[in-house]
């Protein structure tokens, strides 16, 4: 009994310390965003939060960044996920080389990536479009290490070979096996990878700034040069938005359903 009480106290202490470590910066950001700076400005108000919608570049940057995130998630769903499933099912000897290939973006600094892709994006800006949505291509490359690890863990947790063989025995095509059998089974891993994509698109600054694209973080930095309170308020709002998306990700308890796919 004494041991269980001690374990509970230890767990509560760890949770309290971690919560304090994570929540204090958020509180400091909110505190700063409500401060009045200047002579005699000691009162607090929410003016910085009220004028967020009136920032024209900010609203456009948010819409473009969200659209870019949707494109990146579509690339994850229709390109990265089927490729990972194909490698796990048909090419097991290539799993390690494929994993190393996906981890390469972690080993290359962002400034080096920019130097490499700058001529390509210069050509795209001149001949096609100057929209920041074109950054979805390089963002898809940057999220490969995180997305693949999430998908690989989900695939290793399920006996996909047995599922594939059973579905093929019942007459399902290989496309049906991937999109109708295996992908619903690893839905949590796909959602986790999609969340990582949203977080990266909304938080990336170096590449978009050097390539002179007005993305979400670039606009926040520009606002911060004129009004630090508003920039901090926007940053806190974006953090809360990403946290809200994280809470929407279903876990095993929330799912509570058994996969039942018709393979006729």
Q: How far apart are CA 231 and CA 239, in angstroms?
A: 12
CB atoms within 10 A of CB 112: 10
Residue 29 lies in a domain: no
Summarised one tens digit per residue, pLDDT across range 29-38 is: 888 888 776 5
pLDDT of residue 17: 92
Q: Which residues of 120-133 are buried (b: 16+ CB within 10 A; e: fewer)?
A: ebeebeeeeeeebb
Determine the average pLDDT of the residues in 222-251. Answer: 77
Residue 23 lies in a domain: no
Q: How far apart are CA 239 and CA 253, in angstroms?
A: 25
Give 169: exposed, middle or buried? Use CB within 10 Å, 0-12, 13-18, 19+: exposed
Q: What tokens does 221 get?
A: 């930095």
Residue 102 lies in a domain: yes
Q: What are 128-132's contacts with CB under 8 Å, separation 24+?
A: 131/64, 132/61, 132/64, 132/65, 132/68, 132/208, 132/213, 132/214, 132/215
Residue 79 lies in a domain: yes
> Which of 158-167, 177-186, 237-246 has the weakest average pLDDT?
237-246
Q: How far apart are CA 146 and CA 136, in angstroms?
A: 16
**Structural domain harbouring 112:** 58-255
Per-residue pLDDT band at 260 (split at 50, 70, 90): very low
User: What is the pLDDT of the chain when averaged over all its residues?
Assistant: 81
Q: How far apart are CA 164 and CA 145, in angstroms?
A: 26
* Coil, strand or helix at 135: helix
Q: Is the pLDDT of residue 245 over 80?
A: no
Residue 208 lies in a domain: yes
Q: Report which of 241, 215, 194 is spatially closest to residue 65, judged by C-alpha positions.
A: 215
In the chain, the number of structural domains is: 1
Residue 222 lies in a domain: yes
Q: What are 59-64's contacts with CB under 8 Å, separation 24+?
A: 60/214, 61/132, 61/214, 61/215, 61/216, 61/218, 61/219, 62/216, 64/131, 64/132, 64/133, 64/214, 64/215, 64/216
pLDDT of residue 263: 40
Residue 74 lies in a domain: yes
Q: Is the pLDDT of residue 252 over 60?
A: no
> Which of 121-130, 165-174, 243-252 has the weakest average pLDDT?
243-252
Q: How far apart are CA 36 and CA 98, in angstroms?
A: 53
DSSP state of 76: I
Summarised one tens digit per residue, pLDDT across range 228-238 is: 788 888 888 88
User: Which CATH number belongs to the domain containing residue 229 in this structure?
Assistant: 1.10.3720.10
Tell me how long the chain is: 264
> Which of 31-40, 64-73, 191-200, 208-217 has the weakest average pLDDT?
31-40
Looking at the chain, the whole-number percentage of residues with pLDDT higher than 70 is 89
* pTM for this entry: 0.76
Residue 37 lies in a domain: no
């Amino acid at each position: 009994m004494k041991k269980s009480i001690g374990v509970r106290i230890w767990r509560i202490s760890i949770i309290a310390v971690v919560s304090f470590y994570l929540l204090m910066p958020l509180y400091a950001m909110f505190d700063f965003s409500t401060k009045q700076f200047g002579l005699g400005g000691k009162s607090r108000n929410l003016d910085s939060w009220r004028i967020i919608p009136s920032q024209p570049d900010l609203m456009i940057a948010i819409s473009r960044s969200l659209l870019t995130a949707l494109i990146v998630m579509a690339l994850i769903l229709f390109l990265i996920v089927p490729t990972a499933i194909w490698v796990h099912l048909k090419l097991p000897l290539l799993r390690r080389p494929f994993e190393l290939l996906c981890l390469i973006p972690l080993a290359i600094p962002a400034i080096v990536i920019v130097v490499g892709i700058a001529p390509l994006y210069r050509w795209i800006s001149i001949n096609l479009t100057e929209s920041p949505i074109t950054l979805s291509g390089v963002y898809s490359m940057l999220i490969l290490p995180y997305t693949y690890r999430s998908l690989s863990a989900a695939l290793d947790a399920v006996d996909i070979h047995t599922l594939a063989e059973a579905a093929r025995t019942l007459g399902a095509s290989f496309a049906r096996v991937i999109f109708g059998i295996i992908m619903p089974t690893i839905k949590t891993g796909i959602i986790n990878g999609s969340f990582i994509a949203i977080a990266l698109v909304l938080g990336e600054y170096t590449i978009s700034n050097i390539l002179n694209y007005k993305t979400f973080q670039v606009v926040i930095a520009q606002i911060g040069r004129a009004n630090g309170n508003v920039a901090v308020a926007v940053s806190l709002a974006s953090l809360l938005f990403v946290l809200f998306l994280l809470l929407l990700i279903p876990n095993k308890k929330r799912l509570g359903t058994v996969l039942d796919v018709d393979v006729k």
